[in-house]
Amino acid sequence: MSTQHVSFQQASPNEQAVILIVDDVPENLGLLHESLDQAGYRVLVTTDGLSAIEIAHRCLPDMILLDGNMPHMDGFESCIQLKASPITQFIPVIFMTGLSETEHIVRGFQVGGVDYVTKPLNIEEVLARVKTHLAHAKLLQQQKQVIDATETAILALDVHGKIVWKTQKASELLNQYLPELESFEAGLKAWFSDLEQEKDPKKLTSCSYSTPSQQLQLLLLTPWESEQSVAKNYLIQIKTSTPALEMADILKYCPQLTQREAEVMHWLLLGKTNKDIAEILELSPRTVNKHLEHIFEKLCVENRTAAVAHINSLVQEFH
């Protein structure tokens, strides 16, 4: 089995798919290399995580078959770094390792792997998985290209509310209105946490996040599933609308709230976390939680997301 590296050029759609095999004992993979060759794939081999990351950035393989147990940098850490890079984050990674304990398999999916096969390898099974995941990755890429062409602002989030990818339009909106994404990402995770706990998720299919100059309306396009799959992604459309309500407006639409509760609601509409609100209003986090409990009770809602949705629905009703 040859382990020489071919020229580092990204394959065009009409060329054979490129598979990068990463294993510190490559001679054990002679049959896999040969089988991939015979199946029509272009194969690269390397023996450590660091070089795998370098090759992935330079060559952009269509898939990576990654050993989990390697010296210096194991496959799990290698996958974390691959997924952290905008250049390589979309390359599907299949772990192939002798580590067969449940904790290792779970770890493989947690760090971004799309599949996990254990050694000794069943070559026919590996080839079937490679073919399936390549087709899926190609379909996702085509979908993203179509969405980009429509100039629609779309985010893809994982089941925890973490941004997996975004269209060019979404990137432009976020860069324009939210140069610091930390608070926005915390808001997304809070929204998904509410969705997970809500008995009727259809009530929470939208939420808003406000900036000083613009309010962003987030719409859940993918139906929420109670039984989550690790690989499940949710599509979110971003729309711009008017700035968030001031406290006087909140009291007009919700006269049952006190002045302090309206202040808390104002910052809630701006997408601030409970901790942020406590710092802004110079209150203890416990006091903010108490105010939120009273707000939820008065608005007949169960959580932050539902409270924001309720206020937005009142605004639309009276306009």
Q: How far, rounded to the nearest angstrom, does the alpha carbon of residue 316 sit from its chain's CA centroid? A: 30
Domain boundaries, the chain: 18-145, 150-317
Q: What is the mean pLDDT of residues 64-77?
A: 90
CATH no. for 18-145: 3.40.50.2300
Distance (Å, rounded) from C-alpha 26 to C-alpha 122?
A: 16
The predicted-structure confidence for 90-118, as pLDDT tens digits, reads as follows 899 999 988 888 888 998 988 889 999 98
Residue 5 has pLDDT above 70, yes or no: no
Residue 268 has pLDDT above 60, yes or no: yes
pTM assigned to the model:
0.54
Domains 18-145 and 150-317 share a fold: no
The predicted-structure confidence for 10-37, as pLDDT tens digits, reads as follows 333 335 899 999 998 877 778 889 999 9
Predicted pLDDT at 232: 64
Predicted pLDDT at 2: 38
Predicted pLDDT at 117: 92
Distance (Å, rounded) from C-alpha 145 to C-alpha 139?
A: 10
Token pair of 180 as six digits: 């610091």
Q: Which class would CATH give 150-317?
A: mainly alpha
Name the H helices within the chain.
30-38, 49-59, 75-84, 102-110, 123-149, 168-177, 182-197, 247-253, 259-269, 274-281, 285-299, 304-317
Average pLDDT, the chain: 83
